[in-house]
Chains A and B, each alone.
Chain A
Amino acid sequence: MIAYYSSLAMVTSAVLYLLAMTVHAAEWASARAVKVPEPVLVGAGAEPDGVVTPSGVLVEDAPPARSQRIELLGRAALGITFVAAATHILGVVLRGVAANRAPWGNMYEFITSALAAVVIVYLVMALRGTRWLGLPATLLLAIGQGLAVTVFYVDVSELMPALHSVWFRIHIFAAVAAAAAFNIGGIAALIYLWRSRAEAKGSVRGYLARIPSADALDRISYRFHAFAFPLWTFTIAAGAIWAQYAWGRFWGWDPKETWSLATWIIYAGYLHARATVGWKGRRAAIVALIGLASFWFNFVGINLLTSGLHSYAGI
């Protein structure tokens, strides 16, 4: 019965994320037509932190009725996301209660937990004024949560013996946290590429004008990656220790292990690229996005395509 309410909450949150995404899309579309004078934007870079909402600047330039509508849509979308997050987190907690363990035992549980971490981080940032993440963040949440409840869903069951370990909780918790940070860092990198192209062309208008400068986006993206990378390293190390206990070897080139290492190497490449002349900025951001693609492939593709010791999807 608890499991049923958990699923109900998860499905509800998926629908609400989709709704929030639609409202954000309407917000962006409304902002599209707003013309922005260029110099105002460059000035926004004076804030060293980069977490700025230049909305005030822009709204003044837009016709009052329209800017009010943009603001209203943005707030509505954020409100819906809050409700969605509440049902989402409730779903994760109920799943844990129903299974009587940490709800990280299969792909469905991992994906819902990781997205819960994403939405928490996003909402904390949005409250601090980073609402421009709204459209891509709700897009990710709607797609992820939608796939989770439709394709990846499995009923509650006990764990297999190899997962009965304290390392299970340590390994997966670190992976969930790293997943959340890599995803938000990746979204920031994507927006950075978009915005920096517009800046180079001198055509910063519409919603793009409402988000921070390319430099600030690059810094935000870096900060999330710099947080996620040590966590991901720790995830791999904890996994290796656990593998030593469970399978008697700490590294065996299992497909999941290989792709974890490949993902680690790509992100190490990102951190080095940011310090290399000719790779800074655009190329570094592309390396980060390749890293994110590798992360997702490791998570979804490896579970479904190859058979290895980590084939715990249960589908």
Chain B
Amino acid sequence: MKSVFSWLRFAWTTLTSMRTALILLLILGIAAIPGSFLPQRPTDPVGVADHLRANPGVGEWLNRLGFYDVFGSPWFAAIYLLLFISLIGCILPRTATFVRALRQPPSPAPGRLSRLPEFTTGLVVASGDEVLAAAEAHLRAHKYRVRRESSAISAERGYLREAGNLVFHICLVTTLIGLAWGALFSFKGTAIVVEGQAFSNTLTQYDEFGGGAGFRAAQLSPFTVRLDSFEAEFETGPVQQGAARLFRAEVTVTGAGGAPSQQVLEVNAPVTVGGNSVHLLGHGYAPVVTVRDGNGDVAFSGPVVFLPQDANFRSDGVIKAPDARPERLAFEGVFLPTAGEDGANGMVSVFPDVLNPQLLVNAWAGPPKAETGMPENVYSLNKTGLTQLTKPNGDPVRAGLAVGTSYELPDGRGSISFDGWKRWTKLQISNTPGGWLTLGSVMLAVLGMSISLSVKPRRLFVRAVPEPTGQLTISVAGLDRVDGREGLAAEVRALALACGLSNSEADKEEP
């Protein structure tokens, strides 16, 4: 039993030693690196799938060992948790020592002052009390804490260094607590909203949604955001042509029980409503189409969200008209905001803004399908029960439409017309409780660290020893607790002058 206890004691002292903390720090730095080179599942799931396909053997092992989610892996957590335990084990005793040091006067002057890095001595004609009183007044005026003894003074300043150091390390722990709190109760989701449409804050309206372990759907506060208009501008000059220059959304926000208010949503200016932040994350195009069926009735009409595929916003999407009769219709489409010819690839988009919009579609038809209520992916076409329409010569139907034009499907199956286009925005709605704790801790940590690295802790000593001649031998010495500081010699000299030593005597050094 005793051996278990001593082993635990050994483990604890080893873990909380500076050397262990240092090695854990360096290991943590190294451990973070693979996460910057390998695709990571939380941010880039498609990249992970590609990497797994490209490296089947190694990839499987990387996957098992958590290298595709380094920052969520148990071994990464193990390193930083050990580091924080080590940190806490270091902070607690140091805080206790510091508090004790604050309550007590500085420790007494050492026996042989001449051994200290800065030392000066000389004779004066005065009483010991006078000299020490003058020295004490001088030291107190220079913000030293003073311990007065019968024939000596010891003084210390720079306690803020250790205070800042402790504040910094305590704030690291509270930062971690803030982050854990946020990870537990936060949520974050995205939704695509087309111009003229609105988003309501309920789970079903989100395209993607992720909540912490402690998140409950009841936390979602009711509000709506209507996208009134969205403006995008791109570089038209020769340098960085096509680079984004302006994104600006005008929205109408209606909070719980509040009146609607019109606000501007920009990339660096999120809108907040009911404690939630609404961010503008992305944008794209939604061609507006009308599909008429074989009976001549309108089977579908409105904007269809297409997803951008490249930097020039070539966008893919699917137009579905399940209610078309006698046959249901569907189209796979490509929207080109600025259509242009590319020798190798045929039609491409050559600019991200809308200068020459074109909608390219092929067409599918099939017998009507029973309503099942099963959810369906709006961005891909399930082709079971559908056949691709062909022209009389056997080629598949391919229509290239400009705005305002339409295409008649063969055999009187109906038509599709390209009426115009709208922009859509991808909004992110998030709520991270505990953010104030994280932010406040980080700011306080920076402050504590700056103080700790700039304050100079210093100790000064004076001793007055009466000589048989009736004179008094004054010894003045100084010591820096931390290296890398300057001005010690000057301070010792100033203190010696305050004690009544003359300039020439104070300059005299006896190492």
Contact = CB atoms under 8 A, between A and B. Distances in A.
Contacts of A246: 267-268
> Which of A48, A155, A156, A167 gathers most chain B CB within 10 Å?
A48
Interface stretch (B19-27, B59-67, B93-101, B362-370): B19-27
A237 B443 contact: yes
Contact of A161 (B33, B43, B245): B245
Given A158-B245, A248-B188, A248-B277, A265 B18 contact: no
Contact of B22 (A222, A244, A272, A314): A272
A30 interface: no
Interface stretch (A109-117, A136-144, A251-259): A251-259
A253 B35 contact: yes
B46 interface: no
A230 B453 contact: yes
Contacts of B22: 269, 272-273, 276, 279
Interface string B92-119: 0000000000000000000000000100
B245 A262 contact: no
Given A233-B449, A268-B25, A248 B32 contact: no
Interface string A258-294: 1101100110110011011111000000010000001
B359 to A, nearest CB: 27
Given A161-B245, A222-B484, A253-B71, A248 B270 contact: yes
A68 interface: no
Q: Kindly state the interface size class of chain B when it binds its partner.
A: 35 or more
B36 A160 contact: no
B54 interface: no
A245 B449 CA distance: 26
A161 B266 contact: yes
A26 interface: no
Contacts, number: 133
Nearest to B172: A268
B207 to A, nearest CB: 15
A100 interface: no
Q: Kindly state the interface size class of chain A when it binds its partner.
A: 35 or more
B249 to A, nearest CB: 11
Q: Is the interface of A mostly helix, strand, loop or mixed?
A: helix
Nearest to B237: A157
A69 interface: no
A254 to B, nearest CB: 8
Contacts of A272: 18, 21-22, 25
Interface string B276-288: 0101010000000
B240 interface: yes
> Which of A154, A158, A275 gathers most chain B CB within 10 Å?
A158
B36 A259 contact: yes
Contacts of A294: 29
Contacts of B266: 161, 164
A197 interface: no
Q: What are the 3 A-B residue pairs with the smallest beta carbon separation, nearest first?
A: A248-B279, A265-B29, A255-B36
17 contacts: A154-B239, A155-B239, A158-B245, A165-B268, A167-B268, A230-B446, A230-B450, A233-B446, A237-B443, A242-B268, A244-B435, A248-B279, A250-B435, A253-B70, A255-B37, A258-B36, A262-B33
Interface of B: 18-19, 21-22, 25-26, 28-30, 32-33, 35-37, 40, 42-43, 70-71, 117, 188, 235, 237-240, 243-247, 266-270, 277, 279, 281, 428, 430, 435, 438-439, 442-443, 445-446, 449-450, 453-454, 483-484, 486, 488-489
